[in-house]
Amino acid sequence: MIETPETTAAPAKDKIVAKDVNIYYGSFQAIKNAALSMRAQQVTALIGPSGCGKTTFLRALDRMHDLTPGARVEGQILLDGQDIYAPDADPVVIRHRIGMVFQRPNPFPKTIYENVVYGPRIHGERNKAKLDEVCERALRGAALWDEVKDRLQRSALDLSGGQQQRMCIARAIALDPEVILMDEPASALDPIATSKIEDLIGQLTEKFTVVIVTHSMQQAARISDYTAFFHLGEIVEVGPTNHIFTHPREKRTEDYITGRFG
């Protein structure tokens, strides 16, 4: 067979694949039969109206529901083909490979340095030179090094909200994860700090796979490669972001992106 350029081009590899995922809080079903492939070193945005299940789905991707009383996840979530819910899968290892950044910056009441090296320290790293190197690399990766390099021993609580959020991203990077999950990481920030976070997310895909929940369709359009539209616990439509925003297949997606509901 003569191969066309389409068949020879290497498709982006799937990093996380969710199959037939159902998530319950007690008897309430928050996610229904969700299926989604999240490509390696791409940004996948999860959008949809409030309460549609975006955060619930995101938290399933690193087994955070293990910590929620009454929550139950059914189905498969494959990380590089391995089910993270398999009986022999270790949640500690999974959370090492998949980092999470929350909606509000959550610095610990410690120095900037201690915040960033927190993960490597609790995983047993004691070597000061190694920790210094991790700290610098993570802060550079989070585009914060130049702003804080002269005050690493000052309290992280003295940083601005936007700096705190980039420091939280540095704290996630310090563990050298493969995937970074972000739950509306810029929603508590002003437009300038938001724009810095958005620029940073673009740079993160040089190394990491990013999955981000956002309320802002403009933000999803600016920063993501793929977009999944959630509604009432279902993934209604998923595709390349420019396609979803210009040629949605489903009426519900079109109604949402044109502002008819949500």
Residue 51 binds to ligand ATP (criterion: CB under 6 A): yes
Determine if 55 is a binding residue for ligand ATP (CB under 6 A). Answer: yes
Map the footprint of ligand ATP across residues 211-240, applying CB under 6 A: 215
H-type alpha helices, the chain: 5-8, 54-60, 91-97, 112-116, 118-122, 128-141, 145-148, 161-173, 191-204, 217-223, 241-246, 251-257
Q: Do 25 and 79 touch, CB atoms closer than 8 A?
A: no
Helix axes 191-204, 161-173, angle to 10 degrees: 20
Q: Of the listed pieces 9-17, 49-57, 113-121, 238-246, which binds ligand ATP according to CB under 6 A?
A: 49-57
Task: Assess 53 for contact with ligand ATP (CB under 6 A).
Answer: yes
Closest CA to 101 of 190, 214, 11: 214
Q: Which region among 24-32, 34-42, 202-210, 239-247 touches ligand ATP (by CB under 6 A)?
A: 24-32
Q: Which residue has the tokens 């704290």?
A: 171
52 binds ligand ATP per the rule CB under 6 A: yes
Round to whole Å and give the CA distance between 35 and 24. Answer: 16
Q: Report whether 55 contacts 230 (CB < 8 A).
A: no
Q: What are the tokens at 183?
A: 């739950």
Nearer to ligand ATP, 61 or 134 (CB): 61
Stretch that binds ligand ATP, among 10-18, 45-53, 79-87, 148-156 (CB under 6 A): 45-53
**Interacting residue with ligand ATP among 16, 30, 112, 175 (CB under 6 A):** 30
Rounded to whole angstroms, the Cα distance separating 25 from 78 reads 22
Identify residues 157-216 at the interface with ligand ATP (CB under 6 A): 215
> Scanning residues 101 to 120, which ones bind ligand ATP (CB under 6 A)?
none
Q: By CB under 6 A, name the one of 13, 20, 68, 249 that touches ligand ATP.
A: 68
Binding site for ligand ATP (CB under 6 A): 25, 28, 30, 48, 50-56, 68, 215
